[in-house]
Structure 1
Amino acid sequence: MSAVRSRRRARGQVALAALGVCAVLGLTACQGGDDAAGAPGGGAGSVSTPVTAPTPVPVPTGATAAPSAMPTKPPGKPATKPGATATPAKKPGPTATAACDHTMPIAPDLIALYRYTPEGGDHNLIVKHGNWKCAGPDGGGAPFAPVGTETFIPIAETAKITATAPIVSGSASKPVTLHELIAWVTAHPDSGLPFRYHLGAGGFIDTLDEVYVP
């Protein structure tokens, strides 16, 4: 019996010693594993601490993210400086005069002077009636257009007569006598110079004014 008890006691001591060794080895292994995990290049099987991702910062509602870069201004014409005045459009020029109408009515007070004749004992001017080819107070420099056949109109000895170039010098009207007029017409027949006239008593011309045509 004593021997059996001795063997049992010895087995118990061995078991306790083995448990102690295991405890020491386990503690050392745990410490070594922690050091291996924290050190760079830790071996496989080491325990690592999980890395937690940073929590995203919430963006306030309604906020707009700032652009990464300012937008580039598209190419184009430079803006007009303040106060700059646009060039006004040109006004349309005057309308061109319509083509002359040669069938327009004969003017009642316009004649073209051609010659002089004393036939019948009176001073007679041989003329043609007509009108200006284009509208205007005195034709506006447009040529006088006589129509029809030549006729004669008596002129009073005391008629008031004015003349301009080429009968007298210059474009201003100047008074001339009937004899001065007759002398010029005789020297320059068929001139066709335009005159405005008025008939007085007895059908004689009492006023005769040359119309200047440049």
Structure 2
Amino acid sequence: MRTQAALAALALCGTLVLTACNGDDEAGAPGALASPSAGASVTGAASPSAPASPSSAPSKKPTPPATSSASPAGTKKPPAPGSTCDHKMPISPDEVAVHRYTPEGGVHSLIVKHGNWGCAAPGKDAAPFDTVGKETFLNIAEDAKITALTPIVASPVSKPITLQQLIDWLIAHPNQGRVFRYHLDSTGVIDWMDQQYTS
């Protein structure tokens, strides 16, 4: 009887243990199911964000068109009326401003400066002759053909003068820089000169 009672007790304990184990499995089953669903929810939440990352990058906006009030780059303003003079004219090859006379070296020499024509001031009839560089010497022939006008002669029209007349005027009126067009002969001496009107 004792043996049967012990066996019955063991069987009862085994039944209780199995019941308790099944109860734990059933109780843990929802937890086990909840764990993947939680993971799925995290994965589901992260899943939409992956394709959204490119859209989160800043997109380039189209450059707005230039308004009519904006002037295009590099556009030059139209020149003012009467300002078409070219300030970059080359040095004149056959014109000089005559400043003085010298007989040094036993020859007739004119002290001159080369230059180019500037721009006439408003209301002026002629442009100025802008000299450049240093004074130089030009020999002139005794019989050079010379024409002059005001103020060397009292005439607005060119008149022939002698070399001596030019010399006398240069001595009396030094450094006035009257402009002459000239020509050199084969020896490099002036053989004719023509005064240019400079107002």
Q: TM-score, structure 2 length as denominator?
A: 0.55
Distance in 1 of aligned mates of 2:191 and 2:171? 20
Q: Where does residue 96 of structure 1 map in the other structure?
A: 82
1:172 aligns with 2:157: yes
Distance in 2 of aligned mates of 1:200 and 1:140? 32
Q: Where does residue 13 of structure 1 map in the other structure?
A: none
Q: Structure 1, residues 127-154: CA drift from partner, whole Å, max 9, x if none?
A: 000111039xxx9601111110000000
Distance in 1 of aligned mates of 2:180 and 2:85? 24
Q: CA RMSD in A?
A: 2.0
**After superposition, where does 1:197-212 map in structure 2 within 5 Å?**
197-212=182-197
Q: Which amino acid aligns with 2:183?
A: H
| Residue number among 135, 160, 167 corresponding to 1:182 in the alignment | 167
Q: Per-residue deviation at 1:105?
A: 1.4
How many residue pairs align between the two structures?
Answer: 117
Q: Per-residue deviation at 1:171?
A: 0.7
Q: Structure 1, residues 56-91: CA drift from partner, whole Å, max 9, x if none?
A: xxxxxxxxxxxxxxxxxxxxxxxxxxxxxxxxxxxx
Q: Which ranges of structure 2 fall in alignment gaps of 5 or more residues?
A: 1-79
1:162 aligns with 2:143: no
Q: Where does residue 49 of structure 1 map in the other structure?
A: none
SS of the aligned residue for 2:167 comes to: helix
1:129 aligns with 2:114: yes
Distance in 2 of aligned mates of 1:178 and 1:97? 39
Distance in 2 of aligned mates of 1:190 and 1:113? 8
Q: Structure 1, residues 7-36: CA drift from partner, whole Å, max 9, x if none?
A: xxxxxxxxxxxxxxxxxxxxxxxxxxxxxx
Structure with the higher helix share, 1 or 2: 2
Q: Which amino acid aligns with 2:148?
A: A
Q: Structure 1, residues 154-194: CA drift from partner, whole Å, max 9, x if none?
A: 00001000000000012100000000000000000000111
| 4+ runs deviating over 3 angstroms | none
Q: Which ranges of structure 1 fall in alignment gaps of 5 or more residues?
A: 1-93
Distance in 1 of aligned mates of 2:173 and 2:184? 24
Q: Which amino acid aligns with 1:145?
A: D
Distance in 1 of aligned mates of 2:98 and 2:92? 15
SS of the aligned residue for 1:162 comes to: strand
Percentage of identical aligned residues = 56
SS of the aligned residue for 1:202 comes to: coil
